[in-house]
């Protein structure tokens, strides 16, 4: 089961989701540690939820871009991060929080 990065709908269920497989999550956390991406590291435990308020999303987006630059050779991670970047942008437009949901 993946860890889902999601924007919740008005009914509290995930409305916009980016799934992150365990192997990708592991690589993401390694690079996040290297670049000291403290917001991303909040979801370091694959089995625990994490929440990011709307005010944190610009900084989280910056961390995502930083990790993307640091992991250019990892295409799978890059694809997930590109999807996450889009999700963060959509969440900002909606004024919504983003949650990492452990399945």
Task: Name all domains of the chain by residue range, CATH numbers in brackets.
Answer: 3-102 (3.40.1760)
User: Is a pLDDT exceeding 80 seen at residue 46?
Assistant: yes
pLDDT tens digits, 49-90: 999 999 999 999 999 999 999 999 999 999 999 999 999 999
Closest of 77, 97, 78, 81 to residue 16, by C-alpha: 97
User: Which strands sit side by side in the sheet containing 50-52, from one edge to the other?
Assistant: 14-20, 3-8, 98-102, 50-52
User: Is a pLDDT exceeding 90 seen at residue 23?
Assistant: yes
Spatial distance between the Cα atoms of 88 and 43, rounded to a whole number of angstroms: 15
Average pLDDT for residues 16-20, to the nearest whole number?
96
User: Is a pLDDT exceeding 90 seen at residue 1?
Assistant: no
> What DSSP character marks residue 6?
E
3-state secondary structure of 22: helix
């Amino acid at each position: 089961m993946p860890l889902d990065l999601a924007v919740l709908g008005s009914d509290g269920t995930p409305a916009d989701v980016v799934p992150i497989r365990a192997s990708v999550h592991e690589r993401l956390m390694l690079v996040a540690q290297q670049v000291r991406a403290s917001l991303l590291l909040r979801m370091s435990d694959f089995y625990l939820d994490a929440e990011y308020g709307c005010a944190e999303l610009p900084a989280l987006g910056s961390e995502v871009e930083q990790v993307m630059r640091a992991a250019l050779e990892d295409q799978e991670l890059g694809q997930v991060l590109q999807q996450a970047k889009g999700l963060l942008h959509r969440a900002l437009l909606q004024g919504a929080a983003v949650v990492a949901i452990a399945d």
